[in-house]
């Protein structure tokens, strides 16, 4: 079978299960290292002709990460496209099994069971409310109904803006500071927040720098995500 992945999370999931299936991946597919598949552009701007030249049996995509017109163009050319929707951890597990077992014809991988077990054993390491930026210039944060928000909730962190109607609202910095949250969670993707780029914007709040891959990717990283994210939360300096 020949598979093209338009989603870094799904690329890693397929590569960890049966890497020989992948013939094309995006420029942002960074895990695992050393992928030999052809690069076909970004998640938002894939080279459709390059994808079609690879003659894939299946293209795997995500309703949030990929653009509907690109997926429609692939379907119009006769290519089968499987689109995932992930708004929470349980849905992520279901979608991973659908892609790997139903879409790719593989046996359910052991790493998926390890990931489910790791989250079944996860315990809250924090008990507070947080602002969770994902971008700056302009500032954007996690809002309602997000995968990353669900992971944080399971680790004891309540999203200060989970009640907003938008999933990724743009909110002025002054409003973020005034939310009354003691914690600001700063992932290193999609925006690369660092110790010198992000915490200074939130004086008086505790910054927790976390791995964006473990917070936002749904794939093999889920098996270690409770420990990795939990350690980052626990290590956050307390004011």
Phi-psi region of 137 (alpha: psi -120 to 50; beta: other; left: phi over 0): left
60: tokens are 């795997």
- How far is residue 100's CA from residue 71's CA, in Å, rounded to a whole number? 19
- Which candidate, 16, 78, 84, 28, places its Cα nearest to that of 52? 78
Is the model's pLDDT at 238 over the cut of 90? no
Same domain for 177 and 144? Answer: yes
Q: Across-strand partners of 158?
A: 129
Please, are residues 76 and 61 in contact by the beta-carbon 8 Å criterion? no
Q: Is residue 117 part of a domain?
A: no
Same domain for 87 and 49? Answer: yes
Task: Tell me which DSSP letter residue 71 carries.
Answer: H
Contacts with 216 (C-beta within 8 Å, 6 or more apart), sequence order: 147, 148, 187, 189, 190
pLDDT (0 to 100) of residue 63: 95
Is the model's pLDDT at 196 over the cut of 80? yes
CATH number, domain with residue 10 = 3.40.50.1980
Please, are residues 59 and 37 in contact by the beta-carbon 8 Å criterion? no
Is the model's pLDDT at 48 over the cut of 60? yes
Is the model's pLDDT at 237 over the cut of 70? no
Task: Tell me which DSSP letter residue 239 carries.
Answer: -
Is the model's pLDDT at 73 over the cut of 70? yes
Task: Tell me which DSSP letter residue 11 carries.
Answer: H
Same domain for 146 and 97? Answer: no
Q: Say whether 136 sits in a helix, a strand or coil.
A: coil
Q: Is residue 209 part of a domain?
A: yes
Domain count, the chain: 2
Is the model's pLDDT at 13 over the cut of 70? yes
Range of the domain at 152: 124-235
Same domain for 95 and 138? Answer: no
215-227 pLDDT per residue, tens: 999 999 999 999 9
Contacts with 168 (C-beta within 8 Å, 6 or more apart), sequence order: 134, 140, 141, 142, 143, 146
Is the model's pLDDT at 49 over the cut of 90? yes
- Which candidate, 83, 22, 29, 75, places its Cα nearest to that of 48? 75
Task: Tell me which DSSP letter residue 101 carries.
Answer: I
pLDDT (0 to 100) of residue 78: 96
Q: Is residue 115 part of a domain?
A: no
Q: Is residue 78 part of a domain?
A: yes
Q: Is residue 119 part of a domain?
A: no
Element at 156 (helix H, strand E): none
**Average pLDDT of the residues in 28-39:** 92
Same domain for 128 and 230? Answer: yes
**Stated pTM of the model:** 0.92
- How far is residue 25's CA from residue 3's CA, in Å, rounded to a whole number? 9
């Amino acid at each position: 079978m020949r598979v093209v992945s338009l989603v870094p999370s799904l690329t890693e999931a397929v590569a960890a299960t049966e890497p020989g299936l992948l013939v094309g991946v995006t420029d942002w597919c960074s895990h695992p290292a050393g992928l030999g598949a052809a690069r076909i552009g970004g998640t938002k701007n894939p080279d459709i002709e390059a994808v079609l030249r690879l003659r894939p049996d299946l293209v795997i995509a995500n309703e949030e990460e990929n653009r509907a017109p690109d997926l429609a163009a692939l379907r119009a050319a006769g290519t089968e496209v499987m689109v995932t929707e992930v708004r929470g951890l349980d849905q992520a597990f279901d979608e991973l099994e659908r892609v790997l077992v139903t879409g790719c014809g593989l046996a359910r991988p052991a790493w998926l069971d390890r990931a489910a077990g790791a989250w079944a054993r996860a315990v809250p390491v924090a008990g507070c409310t947080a602002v969770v930026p994902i971008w700056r210039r302009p500032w954007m944060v996690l809002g309602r109904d997000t995968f990353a928000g669900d992971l944080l909730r399971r680790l004891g962190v309540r999203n200060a803006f989970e009640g907003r109607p938008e999933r990724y609202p743009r909110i002025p910095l002054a409003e973020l500071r005034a939310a009354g949250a003691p914690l600001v969670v700063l992932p290193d993707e999609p925006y690369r927040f660092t110790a010198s780029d992000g915490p200074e914007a939130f004086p008086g709040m505790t910054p927790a720098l976390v791995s964006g891959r473990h917070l936002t990717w749904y794939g093999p990283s889920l098996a270690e995500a409770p420990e990795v994210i939990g350690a980052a939360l626990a290590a956050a300096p307390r004011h």
